[in-house]
Amino acid sequence: MKFRAKIADAACLNHFTRVSSMVAKLAKTCTVRISPRQLNFILADKVASGGVSMWCELEQENFFSEFQMEGVSAENNEIYLELTSENLSRALKTAQNARALKIKLTNKHFPCLTVSIELLSVSSSSRVVTHDIPIKVIPRKLWKDLQEPVVPDSDVSIYLPVLKTVKSVVERMKNISNHLIVEANLNGDLNLKIESELVCVTTHFKDLGNPPSASADASHGRDPEQMAEVHVDIRKLLQFLAGQQSTPTKAVCRIVGDKVLHLDVLHEDVSLQYFIPALS
């Protein structure tokens, strides 16, 4: 089992640092899946038992100038590692203005992901800062629990408004209730609603548009005005929103009634899927 990779482009390095920072805000520990073409950050808490799950995917060729890996075997050419997300994010934050970054799988009394950062010094000579991040290699028999989530058919899918706006609305609502009702229809309407014994507060977003897949929902005879709704833990949605540091290229919300809120976000060439279970 071997892995080594290098990022030499400053824009790619900054983008990769932003991705790791986002992952650290979404998951305390995560699984890193390394395959010949992709790198994935995975959180696989069981939605059925109330945990959120995450699948973040990036194509290695969009980031790395060098990328070599050998998986556990020829037929299972993948590597699965578990690490503390913050450790990786903290290491990469020291790579701002770096000349290059190298990552490799090492064994220093314990398995590590070693991050080496080549920094320019004032005298234009370079110095290397090295971080050894402890990891746990995940055995083959546990891989089945770490596969890309199967996305259930949604009742309604809708484009999200500016996420910073949603975050400020949800932050204020959190002071009143721990539960949030997310409602949407095929006419581009989205409502965020909280209800308590004393008050009911609703924020309406209009004309957001529905992705092309939503027209299939309409063709199944769903009334475009009919709202689909899901009740979720407001803190879990806030955690997702806090992780979105930059404006995404695309952000879609899919409601699978009484089951799950599926958030699908594209940051340039990095896709993030985030699943928040419905409250019973």
Per-residue pLDDT for the chain (280 aa), expressed as one digit of tens each? 999 999 999 999 999 999 999 999 999 999 999 999 999 999 987 655 568 999 999 999 999 999 999 998 989 999 999 999 999 999 998 887 888 999 999 998 999 999 999 987 777 777 899 999 999 999 999 999 899 888 878 899 999 999 999 999 999 999 999 999 999 999 999 999 999 888 999 999 999 999 987 655 554 678 889 999 999 999 999 999 998 877 888 999 999 988 999 999 998 889 999 999 999 7
Q: Identify whether residues 121 and 213 lie together within a single domain.
A: no
Q: Which 8-state DSSP code applies to residue 270?
A: E
Number of domains in the chain: 2
What whole-number distance in Å separates Cα of residue 45 and Cα of residue 145? Answer: 9
What pTM value is reported for the model? Answer: 0.91
Q: Which residue, of 91, 114, 145, is where some domain finishes?
A: 145
d(CA 62, CA 219): 37
- Whether 151 maps to a domain, the answer reads no
CATH for 40: 3.70.10.10
The enclosing H or E element of 133 equals strand 126-134
Looking at the fold, whether 45 and 26 belong to one and the same domain comes out as yes
Are 133 and 14 in a shared domain? yes
Does residue 150 sit within a domain? no
* Helix residue ranges, H only, 52-145: 85-93
User: Residue 15: helix, strand or coil by DSSP?
Assistant: helix
> Left if phi > 0, otherwise alpha if psi is -120 to 50, otherwise beta: which for 188?
left
Containing domain of residue 75, as a range?
A: 2-145
Same-domain status, 161 and 139:
no
Final residue before a domain boundary, out of 145, 172, 187: 145
